[in-house]
């Protein structure tokens, strides 16, 4: 059983998400978003025993304890690193600093291939449920008064946030909210698209 799992994604010469997350066997999860993520700053919450068991099963099936990082034979510049570290109950620690610019030029079927390491890293993020902290899904909302005296089109993760943004500027009124569709701009945070008053 693992005692603590740490995952960090570093910067690149672009807008790569920069954050780290650590999770303990009791379910405590600590997040710190630094740049190019939807949630900047620290946040702590607890994940379920079921998720802890899934993480432990993933660590064991990947055989992380015995993993030794071997860079592939292809190298590309300007990529981020994904650093993972697992501390086991018996005190053993293994850390892998994976440079995402390293790739294999051939299909490597081994358990410890670079492609499988990337799958492991992504699966950890999926199990932890941090994808919305990295890049939340935003939707376009049309928020307006019944007489359409005041109208705004905003991008927000949910109807409550869309309404909160409009109420903050125009005050509490009898607002109508209609979801138009998904925001495809790639934005990380809520914003006002257009407003009429």
Is residue 81 within 8 A of residue 95, CB to CB? The reply is no
120 with 158, same domain: the answer is no
Spatial neighbors of 196 by CB under 8 A, at least 6 apart, are 150, 151, 152
13 with 86, same domain: the answer is yes
13 with 110, same domain: the answer is yes
What digits encode the pLDDT tens for the residues 50-80? 999 999 999 999 999 999 998 888 888 899 9
76 with 102, same domain: the answer is yes
Q: What is the structure's pLDDT at 74? A: 85
What digits encode the pLDDT tens for the residues 84-126? 999 999 999 999 999 999 888 776 677 888 889 999 999 999 9
Q: What does pTM read for this prediction?
A: 0.84
What digits encode the pLDDT tens for the residues 32-50? 999 999 999 999 999 999 9
Domain region containing 87:
2-134
Helices assigned H by DSSP within the chain: 49-62, 114-128, 131-134, 159-170
| Residue 117 DSSP class | H
| Residue 65 DSSP class | G
């Amino acid at each position: 059983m693992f005692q603590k799992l740490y995952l960090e994604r570093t910067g690149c010469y672009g807008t790569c998400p920069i954050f780290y997350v650590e999770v303990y066997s009791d379910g405590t999860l600590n997040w710190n978003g630094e740049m190019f993520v939807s949630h900047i700053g620290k946040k702590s919450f607890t994940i379920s025993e079921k998720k802890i068991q899934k993480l432990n099963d993933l660590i064991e099936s990947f055989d992380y304890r015995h993993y030794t990082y071997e860079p592939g034979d292809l190298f590309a510049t300007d990529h981020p690193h994904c650093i993972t570290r697992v501390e086991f109950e018996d005190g053993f620690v293994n850390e892998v600093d994976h440079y995402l610019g390293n790739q294999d030029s051939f299909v490597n079927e081994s358990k410890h291939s670079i492609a499988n390491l990337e799958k492991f890293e992504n699966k950890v993020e999926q199990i932890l449920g941090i994808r919305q902290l990295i890049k939340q899904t935003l939707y376009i909302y049309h928020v307006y008064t019944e007489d359409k005296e005041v109208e705004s089109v905003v991008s927000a993760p949910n109807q409550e946030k869309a309404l909160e943004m409009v109420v903050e500027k125009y005050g509490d009124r009898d607002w109508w909210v209609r979801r138009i569709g998904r925001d495809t701009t790639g934005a990380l945070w809520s914003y006002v698209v257009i407003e009429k008053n």
